[in-house]
A and B are shown apart, each in its own frame.
Chain A
Amino acid sequence: MGMTMAEKVLARASGQKRVKAGQYVTASVDRMMAHEAFASCFITLKRLGVNKLYDPDRVVIILDHYFPAPTVRMAQGHKLIRQAVEEFGIKNFLGHAGICHQAMVEGGHVLPGRLILATDSHTTTYGALGAASAGIGVTEMSYVLATGELWMQVPPTIRFDLTGKPVPGIMSKDIVLYIAGEFSTEIAQYRAIEFTGEVAKRMSLASRMTLSNMGVELGAKFAFFEADEKTIDYLKERTTETPSRFGPDPDAEYETEHSVDITALEPQVAVPHNPGNVKPVSEIGDQPVDQAFLGSCTNGRLEDLAVAAQILKGRRVNPGTRLLVTPASQKVMLDATRAGYVETFLEAGAHITPAGCGPCPGGHMGLLASDEVCISSTNRNFRGRMGSPESQLFLGSPATVAASAITGRITDPRQFWSETTLS
């Protein structure tokens, strides 16, 4: 019997010929990434007398959640991290290139088959490139930074076979919201996901990243796509290593396989306060919005901004609504500027913020007051996630966010849609 992608990575990382779902292993970690949480790891390691990391070249550090610093306290944190990077001799300090996950991928740190752990739950994003990647907390990260390894359970894998042809105006975000609503946010708990099928094959890398990103919202430890020709092409310009295609063995064993036909799928919206409370946009009713947010590691990439710009071109943001656009990275910001999207957004009356997490985690900027409503392209709408516990957060695709910003209420983007696009 062959192995799943998760089993293959964990077998290699634990130095065994084969491992099976359920087994516990000690895995050697190929890349460790930390954002602002690194300050806490640094303090912990120093307290324990650790002056040398296991392998500084495997470590990537990025400042994204609070950049530029909104308070003196955060500025101090950033300063401490820069010192720590210096002291530990970490070469891969990506500064403030953007959201950690986007910067990791753009920087060529994510390769198919790698085991990557990071201090952020949306580390599952790298599964889009065939990497086994998961979030951990600061205590485990401190341990990994010092020793290079961690105990892990080999997860069973479930497959989502994505079939059919979407109607115009449907984005990969709608697919993953639909899965969360239909199969629940626990469907992949303690498990790995492999997204397969003709739709998965056709998707751009950016669209795959949206699904893998929200894999954690389905409970998953890893959320893979097969690394195919498209993946290799993407990586060619970004790494000096030679990435190779990576997928499961043909006779790998799966816990379950779900078939998801997206042919008749409508745009989907998650209603407060859980990403699994999902309805088709037509069932939302008349729902005014105070804020619309386009950004995050889920949907702040160039193709997301392109779709939103296409919808906003020649139109205006509703005067009762503020539209905030936060590109996922400096590179996305530059590409979007060159493509003219930034101008389109500004002409429409949107506000562009510096690249990074922006309003997503609810601590840096763009917070919501009590009883305010936001439609957001982010991944979780937990109570109080973006500000007041009395605010209401709805999740939708970049198209839905842009359309809703124009009308000032949650809106089916298909009324503004002209071309067939699967993003």
Chain B
Amino acid sequence: MDMLIKGRVWKFGHNVDTDVMAPWNSLTEPWEERRKVILHIRPEFAQEAKPGDIIVAGRNWGCGSSRENAPENLKNLGIGAVVAETYGRIYFRNSVAIAFPNIVCPGVHEAFEEGDEMELDLKTARVRNLTRDIEISGQPYTSEMLNILEKGGLLNVLKERLSNEVGG
């Protein structure tokens, strides 16, 4: 996984929950249907978001359900990363498990406007607003989380572990 991410920012507010990222009655729909309702509080988002775009959010991004479809939908849409003030904890864990970059960064909501260009270093959690020339620091991933991210997700870690067990 590329540890340096660059992209255009979409800005969301506080308490954006997993139900609006992945409504329950969309979960069993095929992807083409499911993608239309992702973050339906801003209907243009699912239509216009481009691969590599970055989401900047306020507090408690992803509060609510354990449904992994929430970060997975954003990842499948091609979103490069989310940088939020704080997260719902299950969403955050799920995002690590599926290797979808999400960085905790107090102050990010103030530092970015919609459409700004961000450069994000996943190793150091350094967040730069290239449009406004601002640099702030997020909370770096722990080495364990980085390892999961670099391997492309927890299932790859599991695969490696299982093959070691068989081999060893």
Q: Which A residues are closer than 8 A to B by beta carbons?
A: 24, 37, 44, 48-50, 71, 73-74, 119-121, 123, 134-140, 142-143, 146-147, 151, 185-186, 189-190, 216, 219, 221, 274, 276, 361-363, 367, 380, 382-385, 387, 389
Contacts and interface: CB of A to CB of B under 8 A. Distances in A.
B142 A121 contact: no
A380 B19 CA distance: 10
A271 B161 CA distance: 47
Among A37, A123, A151, max chain B CB count under 10 A is at A151
Given A151-B144, A185-B15, A139 B89 contact: no
Given A135-B90, A363-B27, A389-B40, 20 more contacts: A24-B142, A48-B162, A121-B90, A136-B90, A137-B98, A138-B68, A139-B154, A142-B158, A151-B144, A185-B60, A186-B60, A221-B89, A274-B17, A362-B24, A380-B17, A380-B19, A383-B17, A383-B19, A387-B25, A389-B41
A70 to B, nearest CB: 10
Contacts of B24: 361-363, 385
B40 A120 contact: no
Contacts of A147: 158, 161
Contacts of A139: 68, 94, 97-98, 153-155
A48 B20 contact: no
A128 to B, nearest CB: 19
A143 B158 CA distance: 6
Nearest to B88: A219
Contacts of A134: 90
A137 B97 contact: yes
Contact of A384 (B20, B27, B66, B87): B20
B27 to A, nearest CB: 7
B60 A219 contact: yes
B8 to A, nearest CB: 26
Find the residue from A74, A139, A216, A384 having the highest chain B CB count within 10 A.
A139
A239 to B, nearest CB: 26
A276 B14 CA distance: 12
Given A140-B97, A389-B40, A219 B155 contact: no
20 contacts: A48-B155, A121-B65, A123-B66, A137-B67, A137-B97, A140-B93, A140-B94, A143-B97, A147-B161, A151-B144, A185-B15, A185-B60, A190-B89, A216-B90, A219-B89, A362-B19, A363-B25, A363-B27, A382-B17, A384-B23
Given A151-B144, A384-B40, A146 B158 contact: yes
Contacts of B81: none
B155 A143 contact: yes
A385 B23 CA distance: 7
Contacts, number: 112
Nearest to A65: B24
B28 A71 contact: yes
Interface in B55-93: 59-60, 63-68, 86-90, 93
Q: Chain A binding site: helix, strand, loop or mixed by DSSP?
A: loop
Nearest to A152: B93
A389 B23 CA distance: 9
B57 to A, nearest CB: 13
Nearest to B143: A24
A137 B94 contact: yes
A75 to B, nearest CB: 12
B162 A137 contact: no
A127 to B, nearest CB: 15
Nearest to B23: A384
Interface in B119-155: 142, 144, 153-155
Contact of B86 (A73, A74, A186): A186
Given A140-B97, A143-B154, A362 B25 contact: yes
A363 B65 CA distance: 14
Contacts of B41: 383, 389
Contacts of A146: 158, 162
Q: Which of B19, B28, B94 has the most CB of A within 10 A?
A: B19
Interface in B1-51: 15, 17, 19-20, 23-25, 27-28, 40-41
Contacts of B68: 137-139
A117 B25 CA distance: 25
B14 to A, nearest CB: 9
Interface string B153-167: 111011101100000
A16 B25 CA distance: 43
Nearest to B145: A151
Most buried by B among A73, A137, A151, A185: A137
Contacts of B60: 185-186, 189, 219
A276 B28 contact: no
Contacts of A151: 144
Closest 7 pairs between A and B when the two form their complex, measured CB to CB: A137-B68, A137-B94, A135-B66, A139-B97, A382-B19, A363-B24, A382-B17
